[in-house]
Structure 1
Amino acid sequence: MFRSIVKNIHISTNSTRLTFSIPKKFSRIKSTSTNVYHKSTNPSPILSKLDTPILPRQEINPNISKFVKPITPNDSYVSCTIFDSKGNVTELSRHFPKMNFLREHGLYPRDLRKIDTSIIDIIPSIAVRENCILVNLLHIKALVEANKVLIFDTSDPLSASRLGLFVYDLEAKLKAPNTSGWMQQYEHRALESILINVMSFLEAELQDHLKICGKILSDLENEIDREKLRNLLIKSKALSAFYQKALLIRNVIDDLLENDDDLLGMYLTDRDNGEELLKTDSGEVEMLLEAYYKQCDEFVQQSESLLNDIKSTEEIVNIILDANRNSLMLFELKVTIYTLGFTVATVLPAFYGMNLKNFIEESNLGFGGVMLFSVFIALMVTSKNFKTLRAVQKLTLMNPDTKMAQAKKVYTLPKPKPIVNNDHRFQRVPSLFNRWRFWKKRKCIPTDHGQRDMVWKWLIDEKKK
């Protein structure tokens, strides 16, 4: 069995692929019979776990879930992967009793309620405590201290594989040398690595949605297919979930930017060194959060725009389907009208089909007259029905009472004319109809001031009695 030294391990933050360079002497060995093992002069705790064989090819995607495995949830302990102050992984999936863990880090039981091994990660959060920062974003649940980072293990296999990639990225970020002369604090580097990983997954998921949904929308412009509509419904639900997820993450970052106390509380190193911070000293972490807030806001805007395009397409499709449905109904009505015309045309000849004397059999013009009269009746009925149908077709929202009102014989009451002189209204010639009509109505108050004063005086006297 051959063993080779794996050189040039490239770990990319924006990619989920690791690239290995294989020595030339092993390039001709078949992959079906040869196993290549990792070996390094200064192995890290993660690479020391790589005892599984890999195929000798130029670019491979190793199964990261072999290193960060999903665990079984347990109420008595928490499982964490620990990074030290130098960025080295000191322990993988170490179990801590919950009460000891809470006392050691100065936390409350409610703080672990959303950061435990639960696979439910709908509501994100970044909570600043006295000695640490609790982060719950997508698949990453972490506790960041001034000189240590604890990554909580998960019970979801997919999240475990993503968490394995994040562990590599975080190790590279924490071990990165300072080349610019500006030293970023340990907790800020860890937080930035978490935000980079989260934004990378959001961007990759958004690109998938844009590609798939855009293709479906472009196909629907050419042809409305039932299968495409079904796929659009499924993808729109997934896009809505992504939009809600990105919106919640943006709101979490926005809440942090609005809270000056939390921004100052994120300087854990300065607090451990006993330095006093003013409210104006939070510029570094504020710029860090603003950069990723803008990036997350861009994802929210793009997903919202795509959702609006899907809704517009659904409305247009519904309008087209309604128009097609109306066309089918119109065609059915036309067929019914023609059928009614032929039926009316055959009624009169049917009477003459009876074996009874009608004194027209001997007439030379009887057959032609009956036929012409039947055709005339059929054409008249058909024409009348088509005229009514055209009146219904021309019915619009702006003019709903023109031909439709005439077709249905709907009559509206005329508008009442303004009464100039109210006394003239009661001086009409009495009639039975007018007496009945005014008996139903309430009496009007007189408009004359003298009569009005007299009525008020009479009412007051009645109350005194």
Structure 2
Amino acid sequence: MAGLNQDVAVLAKKKQASKTWMVLDNEGEKRVLEVDKYAIMHRVGIHARDLRILDPLLSYPSTILGRERAIVLNLEHIKAIITADEVFLRNPADEFVIPFVEELCRRLPTKGSDSLGHEGSEGEGKELDGPGKGATWSPQHEKQDDNTPGKDAPPFEFRALEVALEAICSFLDARTTELETNAYPALDELTKKISSRNLDRVRKLKSSMTRLNARVQKVRDELEQLLDDDDDMADLFLTRKRGDGSSSPTGSSDAPTSPTIASRASWVSKGTGAISLNHGTATATDSDDVEELEMLLEAYFMQIDSTLNKLTTLREYIDDTEDYINIQMTVRRKNKFRAAVL
């Protein structure tokens, strides 16, 4: 009987230790896993301290860590582990995480697509005349060179990383816009009428601005730290470290390319100084790899820096309003003192 109770206790402990993860693979499929931390650590090759920063119950600042086989991503509500062909995500049911999951699935290759990334349904494209007759036309196909289809498709880990950065930058910018919408009218109202109600309202808005500013600043600092260190950026190139190239669906032309990466980087052979993902070879130097990733990070660094500038402008406006209110209060006190003396 004692042995049975001990087994039940062990099973209960294992159940409590198991965590829910959503896994999205490079085919665009998603599934839910119930595993403990040791299984996750073994599968993606990270340490317990890396996994700890993804715990939703603990408060850790925004962090992007490059490991041998994974990228550990803790950006606000997005807590994920990105490998060369999978994304492990905590809290997939969170209302702020759901849009990230949907966008990530949209950016990944979809099973059943033809070589041009279409489902092949009737009326979905039109046939080309001439030598290429019978192929399906699309704007994306028209822009590509006939000899190098899908040449702008980035590695899976960069596509996943970009979706996360895009989601966080947009989220923080939306919170900033919302704060501006509430703060500027409240400050103007305070200058017109100094009252306890207006002062309390501005005080709360200032506290919200301070907290939001710290969150935005941390994301900006994390991106700046990556941009300042070529080795840290090189650690994020998991596909190159694995030597897997695009023999997997990651590098296929089925993958919808994002506006940021597709317009700034070409991830396959451009002569002798680039990476040929189509053949699974790495002929580029580390500096070439870093330069391509730097373009991606720089785009979102500029976006988050713009958001921080908005908050800086708002803080200065609040400070100026406080100075004005202090002057007005001083004048009122002096006038009351003079009236009392007279």
Structure 2 length normalisation: TM-score?
0.70
Structure 1 unpaired stretches of 5+: 1-73, 335-465
Whether the 8 Å CA contact 2:27–2:108 is kept in 1: the answer is yes
1:78 to 19, 32, 52: 19
* AA matched with 2:330: D
Corresponding position: 1:249 with 2:219:
yes
Q: In the alignment, what sits opposite 1:141?
A: 79
Q: CA shift at 1:120, angstroms?
A: 2.6
Q: In the alignment, what sits opposite 1:228?
A: 198
Q: CA shift at 1:280, angstroms?
A: 3.2
Instruction: Look up the SS of the partner of 1:162 in the other structure.
Output: coil
Q: CA shift at 1:244, angstroms?
A: 0.8
Whether the 8 Å CA contact 1:125–1:135 is kept in 2: the answer is yes
Instruction: Look up the SS of the partner of 1:143 in the other structure.
Output: strand
Q: CA shift at 1:264, angstroms?
A: 1.2
Q: State the distance in 1 between where 2:293 and 2:27 align.
A: 21
Structure 2 unpaired stretches of 5+: 1-14, 111-116, 118-139, 145-149, 245-281
Q: State the distance in 1 between where 2:16 and 2:334 align.
A: 61
* AA matched with 1:165: P
Whether the 8 Å CA contact 2:191–2:325 is kept in 1: the answer is no
Q: State the distance in 1 between where 2:109 and 2:72 align.
A: 22
Corresponding position: 1:160 with 2:160:
no
1:129 to 54, 67, 71: 67
Whether the 8 Å CA contact 1:78–1:117 is kept in 2: the answer is no
Q: In the alignment, what sits opposite 1:88?
A: 29
Q: In the alignment, what sits opposite 2:106?
A: 172
Corresponding position: 1:113 with 2:83:
no
* AA matched with 1:161: E
* AA matched with 1:295: Q
Change (3 A) 1:75 1:284: farther
Corresponding position: 1:293 with 2:293:
no
Corresponding position: 1:97 with 2:67:
no
Q: In the alignment, what sits opposite 2:174?
A: 204
Whether the 8 Å CA contact 1:133–1:143 is kept in 2: the answer is yes
Instruction: Look up the SS of the partner of 1:150 in the other structure.
Output: strand
Change (3 A) 1:302 1:108: same
Corresponding position: 1:219 with 2:189:
yes
Deviation track 1:156-204 (CA, whole Å, cap 9, x = no partner) reads xxx8111122111111122475755311111111000001111111111
Query: Any residues of structure 2 matched to 1:313-332 within 5 Å, and which?
Result: 313-332=321-340
What stretches of structure 1 move > 6 A for 4+ residues in a row? none
Instruction: Look up the SS of the partner of 1:161 in the other structure.
Output: coil
Whether the 8 Å CA contact 1:78–1:116 is kept in 2: the answer is no
Q: In the alignment, what sits opposite 1:283?
A: 291
Identity over the aligned pairs, expressed in percent? 26
Q: CA shift at 1:132, angstroms?
A: 0.5
- Compare CA radii of gyration and give the structure with the larger one: 1
Whether the 8 Å CA contact 1:250–1:296 is kept in 2: the answer is yes
Q: CA shift at 1:119, angstroms?
A: 5.5
* AA matched with 2:80: A
Q: CA shift at 1:261, angstroms?
A: 1.1
Q: CA shift at 1:75, angstroms?
A: 6.5
Corresponding position: 1:239 with 2:247:
no
Q: State the distance in 2 between where 1:80 and 1:238 align.
A: 31
Deviation track 1:30-60 (CA, whole Å, cap 9, x = no partner) reads xxxxxxxxxxxxxxxxxxxxxxxxxxxxxxx
Q: State the distance in 2 between where 1:152 and 1:304 align.
A: 32
Q: State the distance in 2 between where 1:140 and 1:210 align.
A: 24
Q: CA shift at 1:236, angstroms?
A: 0.6
Q: State the distance in 2 between where 1:78 and 1:117 align.
A: 11
Q: In the alignment, what sits opposite 2:270?
A: none
Q: State the distance in 1 between where 2:331 and 2:225 align.
A: 48
Q: CA shift at 1:205, angstroms?
A: 0.5
Q: State the distance in 1 between where 2:34 and 2:77 align.
A: 19
Q: State the distance in 1 between where 2:48 and 2:321 align.
A: 48
Higher RCO structure (Cα 8 Å, ≥6 apart): 2
Whether the 8 Å CA contact 1:78–1:95 is kept in 2: the answer is yes
Whether the 8 Å CA contact 1:143–1:151 is kept in 2: the answer is yes
Q: In the alignment, what sits opposite 2:10?
A: none
Q: CA shift at 1:225, angstroms?
A: 2.4
Deviation track 1:238-273 (CA, whole Å, cap 9, x = no partner) reads 011111110000000001111111211211112212
Aligned length: 254
Q: In the alignment, what sits opposite 2:239?
A: 269
Change (3 A) 1:151 1:279: same
Instruction: Look up the SS of the partner of 2:88 in the other structure.
Output: strand
RMSD: 1.9
Instruction: Look up the SS of the partner of 2:57 in the other structure.
Output: coil
Q: In the alignment, what sits opposite 2:311?
A: 303
Q: CA shift at 1:303, angstroms?
A: 0.1
Q: CA shift at 1:77, angstroms?
A: 2.6
Deviation track 1:190-235 (CA, whole Å, cap 9, x = no partner) reads 0000011111111110111111111112222322222111100000
* AA matched with 2:83: E
Q: State the distance in 1 between where 2:338 and 2:56 align.
A: 61
Whether the 8 Å CA contact 1:264–1:282 is kept in 2: the answer is yes
